[in-house]
Structure 1
Amino acid sequence: MAYQYGQGQGYQQPQGYNNPPARPPPPNPNQPNLSQIFQAVDKDRSGFINAQELQSALSNGTHIPFNEETIKLMISMFDSSRSGQINFENFQRLWAYINQWQQTFRGFDRDNSGFVDQNELAQAFQQFGYRFSQDFIGLLMRKFNRHNGKMAFDDFIQCCVAVQSLTSTFASKDSQRKGQITVGFEEFLSMIFSVRT
């Protein structure tokens, strides 16, 4: 797979106003009621939230529960102990991260439907610095949407994080930044299966 950096197709460092959140922000102690939200969803009072508890705390704005795969992905991103749970500090970071994604998503959901369509998704990736073909955008839509050709907020997060992770993995093998890599089959599979999606 060949990618031309900044030459019409492929990946480059995302630039611009609506960049996807690349890494978790520091916790913001001024977040309103986060402690109350955390305590309300920590059903077993363990001081940690698991994926099921987190799912009950989140809404994608369409009255449809957050995608279970997206929840697991976010838990894994913020689970510093690798226990499958997050504490309050990591919950604060996760909440800020979701809010950043929500602002990004709203910027591309031009009709305020709570979904992005294939054209809006293409515009999002173009704004992020990617140059993907319509065929590839269509593949992303088929892979990550659960809503008749439209992508909800939670699916959008999962899609973008998957593309970011795959881009980072690809770039780590492309030491000369040519937009091309040569890998063996097992290494290719290792690259794919080690990525968070």
Structure 2
Amino acid sequence: MGCLQSTQTAQHNVKKIKAGVAQLRQLYNINPKVLGSGTFGKVFQAENKSDSSHKVAIKVISKQKLSREEIEALHDEVAILQNLDHPNIVKYYETYDDVKFIYLVMELCPGGELFEKLTSNMQPFGENQAASIMDKLLRAIIHCHKQNIVHRDIKPENIMYGNDGEVKFIDFGLAKQTAKANQKLHTVAGTPYFISPEVLNGNYGKECDLWSLGVVLYLMITGKYPFDGNSRAEVFTKIQKGQFSFPESVQKKVTPECIDIVKKMLTVDRNKRLSGENALKHPWFEKCLKKLEGSSNILDVEVMKKLREFKGSSTLKKAALNVLVKMLNPKEIEGLRIEFQKIDTDNSGFIEIQELENALKNANYDMSANEIKQIVSELDYSGNHKINYTEFLAATISVQKFLTHQKLEAIFRQFDIDGNNEITQENIKDAMAKLGKDISQEELEEIMKRHDYSGDKAISIDEFKKMILGND
């Protein structure tokens, strides 16, 4: 989990749950081989018993090794991960808890660290490859910053490759979610080579993440750290002065635009440093990331039809489809990611009402303002008054195409908490808590009324399938 330290509670508290290791083992086959270990626990690979193609990472953290403050810090980290929903940020699935351990089920990133790619290559990355990686990392960090989350420990070791080959931020152990957008932080946190001048001075905000990304970019194109020295004190002195240069050999190989964006990200004055949004607009990206021939910014009409049809789905159906989406390989839904980005014009990782209105207008698709608001409200499973990435995918994927029998059974088991081959109101309540969601008694009664077709006060797997595939 990285370094844990006491932080103020994140804006959404982690829900306490009853499920422990017994239910964890009911759902997953856990490989005993340790993928990684740290001060507080170990990481294992596991696969879903009902769908072996769905593999996850499980972090097993010993409560006995944690102080009360460290447990609170861990809860804050999980709360932050629950708020994040972006293709270039590691996915959080669920939490299990018992007397001795906390079990975090996360997306598996089998492609290794960016650091490993850098050190295994005999030469630095090419500009186009570096630009592709940095484009995705900037979009991810904008998503964080829009929610007042500062990562504070960006470095190649905390950037991993998923099973789709996409880079993903991991380890939010030092991340901080502030109550206000421009609230300053004062605790010195981070890794020496990547730490910004203002962090060293103990008065900083989200701009520190852009500095760290600038160091990562310099490292990708040169194979060296911009600020190096024989001691930590020497490194820190160079950082505070912004004292770095490009090797002559690199200057001959890379474009002036590349050197310019690095300099603007490694500007000592944080007020003059590029923001994430402005960095994405830099000419370097336009030069390196050429638009695919024939690609269009016009929204696919089929996507809009799907959004329209999703209205009226029950809380259980929305939850089930959100689970399905997280089980899919991102390559399978690449087209929908592109459609999402067409609507998300400010790169926040959310779709807001005005953005959806603009996309519809651009596509000449007729829909009233009230219906647009209703769509956003219906898709807003997380309750933040916007459409998250996973919510968008849940509404627009072809369920018939992706819902195999194995995936159907795996999703059903997520809600069949006690393994009795049926889902009761109590099961739904516990399963939703495990996923970090609250559900009211009124919603539970509505779910049973709509989906307990036999009237036996429980939902069978056949009724569950009918719910997911149907329009009710």
Task: Return the TM-score normalized by structure 1.
Answer: 0.33
Q: Please identify which structure carries the higher strand content.
A: 2
- Which of the two has higher C-alpha Rg? 2
